[in-house]
Amino acid sequence: MIARRILLLTGLLTLAFASPHAVASPPAPGERIIAGVTAAGVDVSGLTVDEATQKLVATYGDRLKKGVSVKAAGRMIQMSAKQAAVKFDAPLSATRALYAGRQLASTPPPPGAAPVRVDVPLAIELSQQAVRRFAGRVDRRVSRHPRNSKLRITLRRVSVSHSRPGRDIDHAALAHSIMAAFRDPRLGRVFRPKLISIKAKVNALQVRKTARTVITIDQSTFTLRLYKDLKLRKRYRVAVGQPGYPTPRGRFSIVSKQVNPTWSVPNSPWAGELAGTSVVGGSAANPLKARWMGIVNGVGIHGTGEDGSIGTRASHGCIRMHVGDVIDLFARVPIGAPVLIG
């Protein structure tokens, strides 16, 4: 019975707060709010609307002019009540309390039941849009995208950068809490939103697994370096492309491997009468000796029979090695290994 009566009272109060003049007559001269009524926790029992108005202003007037602060990730971001367009209507708040008292008086509790008390919210308007914009600004200043680990290759060093988790906040929930605080002066005005951690998609361990073997080729010093597990394991002397047929620069990978490769002769004037033909592996006419590791656009690493060219710009774009060196390297390098040519 009591629960049903409270539910009915809540419905009536909702109507009264939405449009008080539609369900109740204006306060009568000298009419006082009955016992058991509070406004945002302030007891206004026995007061007239004017007296209740003064008490609410004295209690909460200054408090409602204060802004809010958000502390997160070492930052403090503030929003003033003015920025939120907060407007406190103390007379309407007091009138709400009076109407709530009338409803209490019209529905007396059953014999022996405890008196029913009611607390009415203050009549406060604010710009929800402004608060949501502020919460979005906090989100942008505090949040950050996760950072994946990356393989960093220079001609003389191979390393893996560390991943970093990202972070985010629930800015919609923050906006809701801020609006509630502006409407209810009893609530705290300093917010510490929970930071939501966002895991990076690629960590250092994953990158290391894809970069067990790395090759760098320094054309200025005719040096090929082999890195294993990010550490320099071996250096080899090489030959690179002539000025007219330069070796391409950039980051590539080993795309193919062959033992005693067939030479598909480029259809180029420098190839002479062999242009456009194929020369079988192991043939004296085949300049690709012993091993082939393809890189890009017909350019690759191979052995040479012209040992005197090593340490010079002598090839038509490929990287030449001594036969013993290329056989040694071939066994150490898998398909897919990164190659940096500089």
Enter the DSSP assignment of 239: B
Asked if residue 306 has pLDDT above 60, the reply is yes
CATH 2.40.440.10 residue ranges of the chain are 212-341
Within 10 Å of residue 75's Cβ, how many Cβ atoms?
10
In the prediction, which pLDDT does 260 show? 92
What is the pLDDT averaged over residues 244-273? 85
Using the predicted structure, report yes or no on whether residue 16 has a pLDDT greater than 70: no
The pLDDT of 212-230, averaged and rounded, is: 97
Q: Centre a 10 Å sphere on the Cβ of residue 54 and count the other Cβ atoms it contains.
A: 16
| pLDDT for position 271 | 61
Q: How would you list the strands of the sheet with 338-341, edge to edge?
A: 231-237, 223-228, 213-218, 338-341, 250-253
For residues 119-133, give the mean pLDDT: 98
Q: For residue 273, what pLDDT is reported?
A: 60
**Could you tell me the pLDDT band of residue 94, with boundaries at 50, 70 and 90?**
very high
Residue 272: pLDDT band (50, 70, 90) is low
Q: Does residue 7 register a pLDDT over 60?
A: no
The residue among 43 and 9 whose pLDDT is bigger is 43
Q: Percentage of the chain with pLDDT > 70? A: 90
- Show the tokens assigned to 130: 């402004």
Q: For residues 123 and 176, is the Cβ–Cβ distance under 8 A?
A: no
223 has which bridge partners? Answer: 218, 237
Is residue 302 part of the annotated active site? The answer reads yes
Q: Work out the average pLDDT over 190-202.
A: 97
Q: Is pLDDT of 14 > 60?
A: no
Query: What integer is the mean pLDDT of 288-296?
Result: 95
Q: What whole-number distance in Å separates Cα of residue 181 and Cα of residue 208?
A: 50
Q: Can you give the pLDDT at residue 110? A: 81
From the candidates 21, 176, 318, 322, give the one annotated as an active-site residue: 318
Average per-residue pLDDT for the chain = 90
Considering only 36-45, 267-276, 279-288, which range has the smallest mean pLDDT?
A: 267-276
Q: Give the helix/strand (H/E) hosting 312.
A: none
* Rg, C-alpha atoms of the chain: 40
What gap in Å lies between CA 239 and CA 131, rounded to an integer? 66
pLDDT the model gives residue 270: 67
Q: Is 176 a catalytic residue?
A: no
Taking the C-alpha atoms of residue 81 and residue 93, their distance in angstroms, rounded to an integer, is 18
Q: How far apart are CA 341 and CA 5, in angstroms?
A: 83
E strand or H helix at 327: helix 323-332
Q: Is the pLDDT of residue 1 over 70?
A: no
105 has pLDDT over 90: no
Q: Could you read off the pLDDT of 323-340 as tens digits, one per residue?
A: 999 999 999 999 999 999
Residue 121 main-chain phi, psi, to 5 deg: -75, 155
Q: Which CATH architecture has domain 212-341?
A: Beta Barrel (2.40)
Torsion angle of alpha carbons 133, 136, 142, 148, nearest 10°? Answer: -150
Catalytic residue among 171, 302, 316, 322: 302
Q: What is the mean pLDDT of residues 80-88?
A: 98
